[in-house]
Structure formats: structure tokens, C-alpha cells
């Protein structure tokens, strides 16, 4: 099949250059596109690098500043990043580039967008362009709803969030696909006793990720031989203050994918502290869980509406979502026997096989053939 993917999916260098881009969203889409291409499908990407609107970001964003992964083919867009001009300029640029692609190369079977809308009526350049292209060229439009609400008008919807997929507000035809296990992660065969017992967090340092809640909870942990490794982008004054008084909290910053993989292989366990009472978390899925599970180690997690029931037996759940409750979950992991850790590794491996990207792409293609 031939897919025209509207939205920026760039290489690691570009993600580092544009702090407003979500590394998690980029990583998720890269995995999906790579899996499609590996199974013989053709994917053309048209996208723009995300920059804060001027004067907080650059006034002109040039296409040459953004590059795609080596295995991708596509076109990056330039745009004027000024208020009132930014969105209409991007809509026009998407329309022109996509129209040229459709008319000059091979026919496209599907348009794909990756959506993170707060309101269904919000203007997004990729979605506006997809609606117009669908109408003019009669190409089915598939909308991947990652965070937020689903925009009307698509021919099919892929929902990452389990709760939203099962809600009355979800639009149809629909399927639930929360993502794939990254295939590049290498499991460490080393004895875990060679490394410090480190809990690891990957993700944004903002409120919705719960990293401050995690650091405050960890600070209450009395075990002095345990560390907390925090990897992510952003500024968090309270987190930095806690790290300054507790030398067990290690702020690694925004590290390369290779360094992230190295640290993950050494980590003792992973933590997803995303707060369930933070309203936006009802409409998103913590994709970091799939990254965590790739390593076959214990994963501590709160329970939010984005998670499907199949995660129940995999995660060490934070039953009481308080600092005391999170400490108790960490103690459960620290007290695990070798047999209990091996049991988790076996269950995780079985889950990973069914959630590998090639398997998820098979499900996606089978759904497309019946839904559109």
C-alpha cells in the first residue's frame, strides 16, 4: 500500500534541535512507519518541525533545518512562524506539497495524520490539509488519535487511548492500537547486581508526567543504596531542588537514544508516575510503557484511563496514588526475589511478542481492508 503521512517525523538530530517537538510522539511514529516500510509498504512523509511561535521561537523556520531518518523519504516544510500567519501558511504549504506528491508520483491509497487536539474544532495544518485532499482526490484519510479528541471527517480512527476508544465520543470506524515494542532495544545479559539499584524515568519534566510526584516520593525512601535516574527534556525547579538535597536523584537531562538504551539496560526497574487525577491524562496514553517493557524488567505504574486491561498483570500498580503509596510500590520491587523478577520477565516477553511493531502493523492493515 501507499501512504502519504502528513506531519513531521524526523531524525534524532532534528528532535534535539527543536525543543518544542515531542520525542515520544516522534519515536512512536518512527516505529510505526519503519514497520510499515519493512513489510513492503510505501510511506511518503510531508512534515514541519515544531517551533514555539515567534517571538518565543524563530520567526522563519526553514525546511533545510529538519532532516528525516535515513530510511525515510519525504519533504520538510518551511513556514513563517508569526502569530496569525503560522497556521494558514502551513495549511497552504501542506496542501501544495501533498497535491504535487499525489499528482506527480504514484497514487496514494491512504492519507495519515497523527492528532493531538485539545478540541475537535482546533485548527491543525495537517488535519485541514487531509480534509481538503480527501475531498479533491477521494483518498481515504486515517487519523491516529494520540492525545486529546478526535477530529470529525476521517474515514477511520486509530486510538492509542483505551478509555477514549471505548467511550461514546470515539468516532468510527475505529481500532485500538497503543503502539509497538521498540525492536532496537537490546536486553542486557549482565548480572543486575553489577549496577546500582536504580529506578528510571523517561519523559517530559512537566506536570502531566508526574516526575515531581515521583521525586518527592523517592526522597521519602529510606534505602540509601537506591538511585533515581531521570531522563527528559524541560525545566522543573522543584525537581532540581530535590536533586540538590538528595544525591541519590540523578538528573540525566535529555540524552541521546543510544545513551537512553545504555541506561535502561543498567536500570533495576522503571516508573511511570503519571497522575490519574490530572484531567488531560484521561485522553492520552503513556507510550513510555512500551519502551520500558522492551527491557523485560519490573515496571511500576499508576493506572490511567489510557491503559487497556492487558497491562493489569504486567505492571506493579500504584494502588494508593500518594507519596506513601508510590514508596510502597518501590519497596515491593526492591523486595522481589530472583524468581519473582524472572516471572515478570517471562510475562513481559509474551506480551512483547504480541505487541511487536510487525504484529501491530499486520493488525492495522487487516483493519484497513475491512474498515475503508
Answer yes or no: do 44 and 174 share one domain.
Answer: yes
End-to-end CA distance of the chain: 13
What local confidence, expressed as pLDDT, does residue 148 receive? 87
pLDDT tens readout for residues 271-323? 999 988 776 667 788 899 999 999 999 999 999 999 999 999 999 999 999 99
- Residue 185 falls inside a structural domain: no
Answer yes or no: do 175 and 201 share one domain.
Answer: no
Answer yes or no: do 335 and 361 share one domain.
Answer: no
Answer yes or no: do 40 and 149 share one domain.
Answer: yes
What local confidence, expressed as pLDDT, does residue 192 receive? 57
Answer yes or no: do 150 and 218 share one domain.
Answer: no
- Say which residues have a Cβ less than 8 Å from residue 133's Cβ, sequence separation at least 6: 4, 95, 98, 99, 102, 111, 139, 141
- Residue 186 falls inside a structural domain: no
What is the grid cell recorded at 295?
527491557
Q: By C-alpha distance, which of 241, 295, 239, 233 is closest to 264? A: 295
What is the grid cell recorded at 10?
524526523
* Count of residues making up the chain: 372
Answer yes or no: do 264 and 151 share one domain.
Answer: no
- Pick from 29-38, 74-83, 177-186: least confident: 177-186
Residue 104, pLDDT above cutoff 90: no
pTM to 2 decimal places? 0.93
Q: Name the H helices within the chain.
A: 12-17, 23-38, 86-104, 125-137, 162-165, 211-219, 237-245, 257-266, 288-293, 323-334, 338-354, 357-371
pLDDT tens readout for residues 112-165? 999 998 888 888 999 999 999 999 999 999 999 998 899 999 999 999 999 999
What are the DSSP calls for 164-197, one per residue? HHTSTT--SSEEE----B-TTPPPP-S-GGGS-E
- Residue 229 falls inside a structural domain: yes
Answer yes or no: do 208 and 108 share one domain.
Answer: no
What's 287's domain CATH number? 3.40.50.2000
- Residue 302 falls inside a structural domain: yes
Answer yes or no: do 223 and 206 share one domain.
Answer: yes
Q: What is the dihedral of CA 34, 38, 44, 49, to 10 degrees?
A: 10
- Residue 187 falls inside a structural domain: no
Answer yes or no: do 30 and 149 share one domain.
Answer: yes
- Residue 106 falls inside a structural domain: yes
Neighbours of 237 (CB within 10 A): 8
Task: Decide: residue 183, CB within 10 A, 0-12 exposed, 13-18 middle, 19+ buried.
Answer: middle
- Residue 73 falls inside a structural domain: yes
What local confidence, expressed as pLDDT, does residue 35 receive? 96
Q: What is the dihedral of CA 44, 147, 168, 154, to 10 degrees?
A: -20
Answer yes or no: do 75 and 172 share one domain.
Answer: yes
Q: What is the number of domains present in the chain?
A: 2
Looking at the DSSP assignment, which residues form a beta bridge with residue 158?
A: 144, 175
What local confidence, expressed as pLDDT, does residue 193 receive? 63
Answer yes or no: do 155 and 23 share one domain.
Answer: yes
Task: Report the alpha-carbon distance of residue 18 to residue 181 in Å, rounded.
Answer: 25
What local confidence, expressed as pLDDT, does residue 268 receive? 96
Instruction: Give Cα 290 to chain centroid, integer Å.
Output: 9
Answer yes or no: do 55 and 161 share one domain.
Answer: yes
What are the DSSP calls for 302-358, one per residue? ---TT--GGGTTTSEE-SS-SHHHHHHHHHHHHT--HHHHHHHHHHHHHHHHHTBHH
Backbone angles phi, psi at 39, to 5 degrees: -95, 15
Range(s) of the domain holding residue 164: 2-180+357-371
Amino acid at each position: 500500500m501507499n501512504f502519504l503521512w502528513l506531519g513531521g517525523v524526523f531524525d534524532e538530530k532534528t528532535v534535539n534541535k527543536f525543543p518544542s517537538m515531542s520525542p515520544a510522539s516522534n519515536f512512536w511514529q518512527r516505529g510505526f512507519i519503519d514497520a510499515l516500510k519493512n513489510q513492503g509498504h510505501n510511506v511518503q512523509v510531508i512534515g514541519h518541525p515544531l517551533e514555539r511561535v515567534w517571538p518565543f521561537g524563530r520567526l522563519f523556520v526553514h525546511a533545510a533545518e529538519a532532516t528525516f531518518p535515513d530510511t525515510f523519504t519525504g519533504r520538510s516544510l518551511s513556514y513563517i512562524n508569526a502569530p496569525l500567519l503560522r497556521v494558514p501558511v502551513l495549511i497552504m504549504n501542506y496542501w501544495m506539497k501533498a497535491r504535487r506528491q499525489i499528482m506527480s508520483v504514484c497514487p496514494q491509497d491512504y492519507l495519515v495524520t497523527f492528532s493531538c487536539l485539545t478540541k475537535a474544532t482546533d485548527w491543525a495544518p495537517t488535519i485541514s490539509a487531509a480534509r481538503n485532499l480527501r475531498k479533491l482526490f477521494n483518498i481515504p484519510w486515517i487519523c491516529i488519535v494520540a492525545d486529546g479528541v478526535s477530529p470529525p471527517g476521517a474515514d477511520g480512527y486509530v486510538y492509542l487511548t483505551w478509555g477514549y476508544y471505548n467511550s461514546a465520543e470515539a468516532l468510527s470506524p475505529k481500532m485500538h492500537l497503543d503502539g509497538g515494542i521498540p525492536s532496537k532495544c537490546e536486553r542486557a545479559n549482565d548480572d543486575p547486581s553489577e549496577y546500582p539499584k536504580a529506578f528510571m524515568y523517561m519523559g517530559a519534566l512537566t506536570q502531566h508526567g508526574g516526575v515531581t510526584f515521583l521525586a518527592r516520593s523517592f526522597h521519602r525512601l529510606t534505602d540509601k543504596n537506591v538511585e533515581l535516574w531521570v531522563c527528559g527534556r524541560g525545566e522543573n525547579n522543584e525537581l532540581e531542588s530535590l536533586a540538590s538535597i538528595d544525591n541519590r536523584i540523578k538528573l540525566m537531562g535529555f540524552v541521546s537514544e543510544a545513551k537512553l538504551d545504555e541506561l535502561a539496560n543498567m536500570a533495576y526497574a522503571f516508573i511511570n508516575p503519571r497522575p490519574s487525577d490530572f484531567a488531560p491524562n484521561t485522553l492520552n496514553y503513556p507510550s513510555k510503557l512500551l519502551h520500558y517493557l522492551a527491557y523485560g524488567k519490573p515496571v511500576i505504574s499508576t493506572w490511567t484511563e489510557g491503559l487497556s486491561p492487558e497491562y493489569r498483570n504486567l505492571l506493579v500498580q500504584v494502588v494508593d496514588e500518594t507519596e506513601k503509596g508510590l514508596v510502597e510500590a518501590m519497596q515491593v520491587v526492591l523486595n522481589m526475589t530472583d524468581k519473582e523478577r524472572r516471572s515478570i520477565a517471562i510475562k513481559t516477553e509474551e506480551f512483547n511478542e504480541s505487541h511487536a511493531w510487525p504484529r501491530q502493523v499486520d493488525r492495522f492493515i487487516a483493519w484497513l481492508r475491512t474498515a475503508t
